[in-house]
Amino acid sequence: MERESQSEGPPAAAVALPPAFPVLFALVCFHAIIAFAYFHARTPLLFWGAIIASVAFVYFFWRGHNWARIVVLLTAVTDFVIDIPRLSHSPPLMRFVLISRLLSAVALLIWLNTSTVRAYFRKSPNQAMQRTAPRFDA
């Protein structure tokens, strides 16, 4: 009887995935993809390296690594320093892209600093595996 009560429900140390995390993940992906609208790599190697790095950051963000959340936050802050001066001399289509990226940066800065999301990202690496590992209780 005692064994049954221990196997019910998730472990006490597990941190739940925030309910709107897939939407947040989609926003992070959008923010990363739209950066390539005005990214001009000098060589194909730099271009593909940037794509691989972006995919890696997005993957580790999805896995719940706090350092990836911090990188996304720093990227969002950096957008204001880089993109706001570009707005005044950009053509209309590029202005739309820049404003879209700045709006997504604002949303990320707010959303990634909520207590629920911060708690999810501050879990230990063992708890990250509990989120995705299937449970086989008898």
Domain positions in the chain are: 20-123
What pLDDT does 128 receive?
52
3 state SS of 107: helix
What pLDDT does 134 receive?
44
What pLDDT does 127 receive?
56
State the pTM of this model: 0.72
What pLDDT does 65 receive?
92
What pLDDT does 16 receive?
72
CB of 61 closer than 8 Å to CB of 69: yes
What pLDDT does 6 receive?
45
What pLDDT does 5 receive?
44
| Parts of the chain with a pLDDT under 50 | 1-12, 129, 133-136, 138
For the stretch 90-130, pLDDT in tens is 899 889 999 999 999 999 999 999 988 998 888 755 555 45
Alpha-carbon distances of 20 from 23, 26, 78, 130, rounded to whole Å: 5, 10, 25, 19
